[in-house]
Structure formats: structure tokens, C-alpha cells
Structure 1
Amino acid sequence: MGDFCDRSLSLDERMECAMRQTAPGTALRRALDMIIAGRLGALICVGDVDAVLAAGDDGFPLNISFTANRLFELSKMDGAIVIDKDLTQIKRANFHLNPDPSLPTSETGMRHRTAARMSILTNAMVISVSERRQVVNVYLDGRSFQIKTVQEIMDMVNQLLVTLQSTRQALDRNLLRLTTLELDNYVTLADISKIFSYFEVLMTAADELDDLIDQLGSEGRTIAMQREQLVGDMDDEYTLMIRDYARDSSEETAREVRRQFHELDAAQLHSFKRVGAMLGYEGLGEDSIMAPLGLRTLSRISVVREGMADKIVDEYGSLQELMDDIEDNPSRLDDIGVKNPGILADSLYRMWGRKE
């Protein structure tokens, strides 16, 4: 608890911590829901107590155990409520905050302006509940997010689940086709560019869903299971596919290519020339033939243990070289430690839709 106060974390990590602290099912969220239901306003500082108290005056020293009901009752008074970083004690109520008015903020309401400035001045998580608009904003280091109702979050969740389901179905179909094309040695840049765009849609939707799951707190467990069913091992598959087709097949390069893909908009992802350049090739057209290493395909075969796909690729150089040699020289696979090379060959032929 309280790690949103740790400046060693990035701001994004601290925001995620704050989302978890205010998610449905937490005592703090129950208090905030009661404050909204009671049509009250509130200004709440959590953590960095010494710095918060140094930025104000007056108020009532309390040092009482924190509960949702107590926080709700104290919000009926004017002024801020100060809570320790572990959400175990309410330190002060009816506290008058005086942050430096020169601190920059784009907020307009007085309570929100004060909250934004206090979050810049201190390490505290500062929560502002608007009595008039009945919205809750959480501030860290001047940045904020607005707490949504469970129904608002679920509406967004349902839209993302539809996107994930349809994208995963399209991705599965295209990956099956890609495996056949790889074994036929007839993959084009257009083929892989299309699949990379599907991967990006899937991963972006999954990341957005993760944020909503954090916001749902205890209400998000079922959604997390659905997310896992729809995304599964596609994250690893995405990386392996980039390694298959990039000029440099290292994991470091794959991570960098994924980062670059993620920064592209939809139109740029459909630019074959740009995708080819990011993979390390210049001057390729959509019909350019691409030769895969075979990491993705080999990793799907049960007898290929972890790390063995890399050894096979290092030995043969490409999936096509493996297919050309596997029938005539199976002992070569024995030499690099592949157990049951016959099963490996059978599996590849089944993927190809042909019998050995």
C-alpha cells in the first residue's frame, strides 16, 4: 500500500497504483461513492503527511483509524482531510490548504485547482470530489484521471471485448494461412504486414482493457479471465513473428520493432514500404517474397522444447532449409538435441496439409 507516494516509480506506475487504491471494492472507493451519493464535495490528501501539513493550517488533529464511514462523515465539514499513505489513519480534518498559487494548473474550479497544486507540491495522492458536478478526480504530480462509475467502465469493457474477439478470430485465420504459405515458401510482405496490423489492434485493445480491469478492482476478475482467453500467448507469438522476418532476429530488435509499430497509426501500418523498412529492408514492395526463420512455427510443435527453436534456426538458417533437409537427413536434428525428430517432421507436414 501507499506506493503511489514512491518517487522512485515512474508517474505511469504511480497512476496505476492510485487507480488500484480507488478501485471498486476498496474502502477508499466505498467512501468516495458515499460522498457522491450524499451529494457532497471533498478534498482528500493521501500520503506525504508532513509535506501536506506544511502546506496548510488549522483543522482538527484526529489520528483515528481510517474507515470508509469516518471519511464520509468528515467530508461533511469544510476543508481537506489528510490520511496517511497506508490508508490506516485519518490524521486531520477540516484542514485549510494553501499551496503556492503560482504552481501551474489548467483546472478551473477552486477545489480542483487546489488538488492539482498540492499534487505538484507534495508526494501525496490528492482526490477532489466536485459537489456541483458530482465527479471525482485523482491527482499525482499535477496529472489527473477521473474516476468512472462501474457501469461506465463496463460499457467500455464490452466494446473492447468485442474488438478483441473479432480481431483474435481474424488473426487466427491469417496465422493458419501464414503457416501454409511459409511451408510453401511463398510469403509476401503484404501477407505479414496485414498480420502485424492485426497484432497491433489486439495488443492495443488488450492494454486498454488492462487499464479498465485495474479501475474495476475486485469487480474485474471475470473480465481478466476473459482477457486471458482472448489474448492468450499472442504476445509471445507477435515477438516470434517479428524475429522470423526482421533482418536482425534478436529479441532486442523485436522489442524495438514492436515499439515502432505501436507508434504507427492504422494507415502507416498498412504502408508496406514502411513496414519493410522497420524490419530492416529498403525498397521492398508488397509482392516481395519474405523468407521466415521458422521460430513461430517451430514453437507451436510439442517436441520443440523451450530454446530449441533457436538452435534449429541457427543450424538450418531458415524454415525452408529445414523442410528441404528434414526428410533426407533427420540425424542432423539428433545432433543438435532434438528428441523424436520424426514427430517434428510429421507435425510440420500436418501443418503443411501434406503427409510425409
Structure 2
Amino acid sequence: NAMLLPDQSVLSSETGIRHRTAERVARSTGLLTISISQRRNIITLYKGSIKYYLRDIGLILSKANQAIQTLDKYRIVFNETLAKLLVLEFEDMVLLADVTTALQRFEMLMRVVNEITKYIVELGTEGRLVKLQLEELVADTNQEGYLLIKDYVASGEDRSLDTVLAGMAALSSEELLDQTNFSKILGYGGGVSSLDQPVLSRGHRILSKIPRLPLPVIDNVVAVFGTLQDILTASIEELDDVEGIGEVRARSIKEGLLRMQQQLIVDRHNI
């Protein structure tokens, strides 16, 4: 055991000796310090000027499970939104409002993911089951959201994927409900009328659904053709000319897109 004797001139808001010492050590060194109060049954973490109470494991597990249920509902809504968008993309009838709705759903979902991730960190080894549930629920969600952004970020705008994601994450809870904010983040302007403008998919997300087609190759296809509609009308020979494609992949792309279109027709008739 060692007795810590921090600089007494360092400010502390604590009254108990243990907690006051821990806070001063954290402020002085920038290191993580832990203070345990057996009488109050409280564990407090300090790092720099940050102070955090570790909550009861049962309470955290309860909150984590509630968040998992919320995440599952959000995931279902997000997937339904993407399914509707898929139909519109093939029919070349996408409006900016359809895209901002999908991005809004994605950001709402990711905020719940971030909340659950914090619970998992706090739970430590007790959070393994919650972590497995989280990984199962969001297995492909990140990529779907990222490719959605790549498909629709405004042309000519110097906006990286990280810039768009950071812009969405910075929205307040109220701003999250206004779809024009997503329009601005994508580079289309913030007017309500902008939501009614037609937009063209570049095809990243749909091409990612074709088996054994790596993302770098998808990028090459999009770079050559520019839009999903041009990819749909391209011949096997034209696809074959793209770097990294070849005749086998060109045929796979053509047949894969055709199968998706046919499946959408079948699904529509079964509704």
C-alpha cells in the first residue's frame, strides 16, 4: 500500500478525504484514479477534471437491455426504409427526401449503438452478452449507412464520409428531426423545397449486394459510369472494360442486377 499526497493547492469539490485525494491526483497527473467508498457503496472514477460514478450493474444491465430492444425496432425501420429506397432507385424515382429519411433513421440508430457501447464498457466482463447482441443487430448496418452517403453526397462537394458522419453526429435531438439538416450536410442546401428535387444514386449500395464484388472494384465501376442508371444500361462488354472486372464479373454484375429487379417485381405482386 502507498499513501498518496497530492498538491494541496489543487482545487477539489470533494469533502471526503479519499475522494478529495483521488480528485487531486487525477487533476495533477491526468491519470485515472479510483476512489471506493465502502460506507456509501460507491465507486468513483477521476481522470483530469472528469468525474464519473460507476452505477449498479443491475441498473446498467436493465438500461442496456432496454436500449437493445429500442435498437432492434430502429433497425427494422431502417431496413424497411432502405427497401423502399431500393425500389425507387431501380425505377429512377428517388427524391432527396427519400435519402434524408434514410439517413435520419441511420443516425437515430447509431446514437442508440453509441449508448449501448458505453454500457458495455461500464459493464466490463458482465457486458459480453450485450456486446454479442449488439454485434448481431448491427452486422451490416454501418456499411449500409456509409454506402448510402457515398451514393448521394452532392457532386462537386468536398465532403468526405467522415465529414458527413461528423455533421450528423453533431446534430442536436431537435435538429435530428429536421430533414433539411441532412440535406445541408449532404451539400444540397437547407431549403424545404430542396427535399423535392430528384437525385441519382451512384450505385455503391446496390452493387455491394452482388456476391464477391469487392468495394474497390465497386468504386471503379462507379468512377467509370457515374450513376446507377448508367450501370443498369451498360453492356457486359462495357462493364468488362472497367479495371478489376473481367468478363466473369461483368456477367455477374449484369445478372445480379437483373435478379434484384425481378425479385422486386415478385415482392410487389405478393404484397
TM-score (norm 2): 0.87
Q: Distance in 2 between matches of 1:128 and 1:159?
A: 29
Pair 1:109–1:252, CA change in 2 (3 A): farther
Deviation per CA, 1:280-303: give whole Å up to 9, x if none: 122552221111111111111114
Aligned match of 2:196: 287
Task: Give structure 1 stretches of 5+ with no counterpart.
Answer: 1-91
Deviation per CA, 1:200-226: give whole Å up to 9, x if none: 122121122122212222222222111
Q: Say whether 1:348 aligns with 2:257.
A: yes
The answer to whether the Cα contact below 8 Å between 2:183 and 2:195 also exists between their aligned partners in 1 is no
The answer to whether the Cα contact below 8 Å between 2:43 and 2:54 also exists between their aligned partners in 1 is yes
For 2:9, the aligned partner's letter is S
Pair 1:250–1:207, CA change in 2 (3 A): farther
Aligned match of 1:275: 182
The answer to whether the Cα contact below 8 Å between 1:193 and 1:272 also exists between their aligned partners in 2 is yes
Q: Secondary structure at the match of 1:146?
A: strand
Q: From 229, 234, 238, give the equivalent of 1:332.
A: 238
For 1:335, the aligned partner's letter is D
Q: CA deviation at 1:125?
A: 2.7
Q: Distance in 2 between matches of 1:213 and 1:148?
A: 13
Pair 1:349–1:266, CA change in 2 (3 A): farther
Q: Say whether 1:188 aligns with 2:103.
A: no
Task: Give structure 2 stretches of 5+ with no counterpart.
Answer: 267-271
For 1:314, the aligned partner's letter is A
Within a 5 Å distance, the mapping from 1:151-170 to structure 2 comes to 151-170=58-77
For 1:198, the aligned partner's letter is R
For 2:255, the aligned partner's letter is D
Q: Secondary structure at the match of 2:46?
A: strand
Percent identity between matched residues is 31
Aligned match of 2:269: none
Higher helix share: 2
CA RMSD in angstroms comes to: 2.3
Q: CA deviation at 1:267?
A: 3.1
Aligned match of 1:206: 113
Q: Distance in 2 between matches of 1:354 and 1:348?
A: 13
| Runs of at least 4 residues off by over 6 Å | 249-252
Aligned match of 1:114: 21
Q: From 321, 330, 337, give the equivalent of 2:230.
A: 321
Q: Distance in 2 between matches of 1:229 and 1:189?
A: 30
Aligned match of 1:233: 140
The answer to whether the Cα contact below 8 Å between 2:153 and 2:159 also exists between their aligned partners in 1 is no
Deviation per CA, 1:147-200: give whole Å up to 9, x if none: 122201101111110111001111111111111111111111211111111111
Q: How many residues align?
A: 259
Moved more, 173-182 or 247-256: 247-256
Pair 1:332–1:241, CA change in 2 (3 A): same
Deviation per CA, 1:294-347: give whole Å up to 9, x if none: 111111111423311111111111001112x23xx2210111124343332232
Pair 1:252–1:106, CA change in 2 (3 A): farther
For 2:151, the aligned partner's letter is D
Q: Distance in 2 between matches of 1:249 and 1:206?
A: 32
Aligned match of 1:75: none
The answer to whether the Cα contact below 8 Å between 1:107 and 1:113 also exists between their aligned partners in 2 is yes
